[in-house]
Structure 1
């Protein structure tokens, strides 16, 4: 599943919500740790919640013991009337309150901090695993995102009890203030291509949410294509290759990814038969006989071959996607003009 995030402080929140909804996104996250300001600030949050609900998007919200006072409501159950379907509990909630809330909401436990004995205490209180979500933190400050091994160990714990897991990737383009350094769960994803970060997370968790408000460069579209149809989108500079969806061969070669059904019977003259770096797009020329026209993506640096034309290059930001390609994967190569 894919989700977006929206925040009170974001002046373009309405635009972001509508954009995501029109692309079919059905889940959204927000924080109801409302600032001390009341009045108009609280009213705007209520309006944003109602806007999201009007698009039939499922809202999950961070809440604390202060949320009730800030929103001016008497109990957490009143949040359901604002469209909130799930809540992520901050520290301070007793097990009886947690159990009671689990009867109304889908409850999110803090997947980044909870220990197994604490999880077992929650389950022993009578809460069913199917009403829970293990939801990781995001980390606004550089150098504080999770270490990958710790992240994987936490995930194994929740999977053991059949609890789905959600984590965050940074947005593309605009980042949430005040630090504007992205909102990833994993530190390694902070300055990584957000789409590549999302694809990597989908291999480990059940839900990926974009932590920041920025979704430029077709981030939602590409995540949706991967989540729904396993299509991985890669941007390429090429003056020869046509944009489109290509299938990788099911047998995986050590040095290159081979694109199926690209061989041709027409002439392919030797041209630009130079060294092939990681991410080079190549086409076999006439000197390779029946392989003529086969398109490949280089998985590592390779020497020049007079039988192989270099016809393009994956853009640097998308190179991490190469390590995520799988046998038989459909690949959407998005080509921009390159003169070589």
Structure 2
């Protein structure tokens, strides 16, 4: 599933919720223990949660032991009538509290810090594993995001017990303050194209949430198209290629991605038969006979070939998407 994040002090949160809901996004995350949040938080929270409820969106909230004082409420169960149906527990909650809260809320455990003994203590206390979510942190400060190997090791533990895993990618465009450095789970995703980061996570976890409020550049539209329809969007530069959907061949070539049904009977004169780099888009010319017109995307640097015309290239920011393509994948090429 794809989800958004909204924050109580963000003046554009209402617009963000409506935009996401209209795209079919039905899950959202918010944090109720961020020290920078100031002002009349309860009234603001009630308005946003009511809006989300009106649009059929389910809200999961990050809470800590300081949340009650922060919001001026008496107990965590007071969040339920406000529309919060799931809570994600930060560190510090004892086993008894965890088990008690699991009887009221959909419960998410901190997947980035929990060890197996702690997990077994929760499960051994009577909480069914399938009713839990393992939800990773996001990391505002650069250099503190999770190492990829550690991330996958943690995930193995939760998969062993059948617990679904959620994680964050940074937003596109607007980044949340005060640091404005993105809110990824994995450090490698901080400066990556957020869409590529999202596609990578979708292939490993059940829930991918945009940590920042920014969803510009059609981020949600493209992620939902991939999640629901298996269509991966790639932006390219080309004067000869048309925007549209193409399908990769199901057999995997070593050096190139081959686009099905692109061969032509009309002449394709040799032109720009230059060296091909990773991400180059090519078309076979007349010298390749029955292959003329076949469009390919290069997986690696290749030399010049007088039978192959270079007709464009994948934009640099979208190059990471190439490593995520699957055999038979439908791709949507957007001409920039």
Task: Give the TM-score range, shorter chain.
Answer: over 0.9
Q: Secondary structure at the match of 1:209?
A: strand
Q: Partners in 2 of 1:34 and 1:75 — Cα distance? A: 18
Question: Against the structure 1 CA distance between its residues 274 and 222, is the aligned structure 2 distance closer, same or farther, given a 3 Å change threshold?
Answer: same
- Cα pair 1:53 1:82 within 8 Å, conserved: no
Q: Partners in 2 of 1:30 and 1:136 — Cα distance? A: 14
Q: How far is the alpha carbon of 1:268 from its aligned partner?
A: 1.1
- Cα pair 1:34 1:71 within 8 Å, conserved: no
Q: Partners in 1 of 2:187 and 2:326 — Cα distance? A: 24
- Cα pair 1:36 1:70 within 8 Å, conserved: no
In the alignment, which residue of structure 2 is the partner of 1:321?
A: 321
Instruction: Say if 2:231 is the partner of 1:259.
Output: no
**TM-score, normalised via structure 1 length:** 0.96
Q: Partners in 1 of 2:53 and 2:69 — Cα distance? A: 22
In the alignment, which residue of structure 1 is the partner of 2:102?
A: 102
Q: Partners in 1 of 2:24 and 2:230 — Cα distance? A: 17
- Cα pair 2:249 2:328 within 8 Å, conserved: yes
Q: Partners in 1 of 2:189 and 2:36 — Cα distance? A: 32
Q: How far is the alpha carbon of 1:42 from its aligned partner?
A: 2.7
Q: Partners in 1 of 2:93 and 2:258 — Cα distance? A: 54
Instruction: Say if 2:2 is the partner of 1:2.
Output: yes
Q: Partners in 2 of 1:3 and 1:296 — Cα distance? A: 33
Q: Partners in 1 of 2:39 and 2:214 — Cα distance? A: 27
Q: How far is the alpha carbon of 1:94 from its aligned partner?
A: 2.2
- Cα pair 2:8 2:37 within 8 Å, conserved: no
Offset from partner CA, 1:154-211 (integer Å, 9 cap, x none): 0000000000000000001110001111000000000000011011111111100000
Q: How far is the alpha carbon of 1:34 from its aligned partner?
A: 5.7
- Cα pair 2:6 2:213 within 8 Å, conserved: yes
Q: Partners in 2 of 1:38 and 1:195 — Cα distance? A: 31
Q: Partners in 2 of 1:206 and 1:36 — Cα distance? A: 30
In the alignment, which residue of structure 1 is the partner of 2:162?
A: 162
Q: How far is the alpha carbon of 1:36 from its aligned partner?
A: 8.5
Q: How does 1:32-47 map to 2 (within 5 A)?
A: 32-33=32-33, 35=35, 40-47=40-47
In the alignment, which residue of structure 1 is the partner of 2:282?
A: 282
Q: How far is the alpha carbon of 1:38 from its aligned partner?
A: 6.8
- Cα pair 1:34 1:42 within 8 Å, conserved: no
In the alignment, which residue of structure 2 is the partner of 1:78?
A: 78
Q: How far is the alpha carbon of 1:91 from its aligned partner?
A: 2.5
In the alignment, which residue of structure 1 is the partner of 2:17?
A: 17
Q: Partners in 1 of 2:189 and 2:154 — Cα distance? A: 18
Q: How far is the alpha carbon of 1:71 from its aligned partner?
A: 2.8
Offset from partner CA, 1:139-160 (integer Å, 9 cap, x none): 0000000000000000000000
Q: Partners in 2 of 1:68 and 1:137 — Cα distance? A: 21
Question: Against the structure 1 CA distance between its residues 9 and 97, is the aligned structure 2 distance closer, same or farther, given a 3 Å change threshold?
Answer: same
Q: Partners in 2 of 1:187 and 1:123 — Cα distance? A: 30
In the alignment, which residue of structure 1 is the partner of 2:309?
A: 309
In the alignment, which residue of structure 2 is the partner of 1:239?
A: 239
Q: Partners in 2 of 1:34 and 1:236 — Cα distance? A: 39
Q: Partners in 2 of 1:144 and 1:37 — Cα distance? A: 22
Structure 2: runs of 5+ lacking an equivalent: none
What value does the CA root-mean-square deviation take over the aligned residues?
A: 1.3
Question: Against the structure 1 CA distance between its residues 82 and 136, is the aligned structure 2 distance closer, same or farther, given a 3 Å change threshold?
Answer: same
Instruction: Say if 2:296 is the partner of 1:296.
Output: yes
Q: How far is the alpha carbon of 1:37 from its aligned partner?
A: 7.4
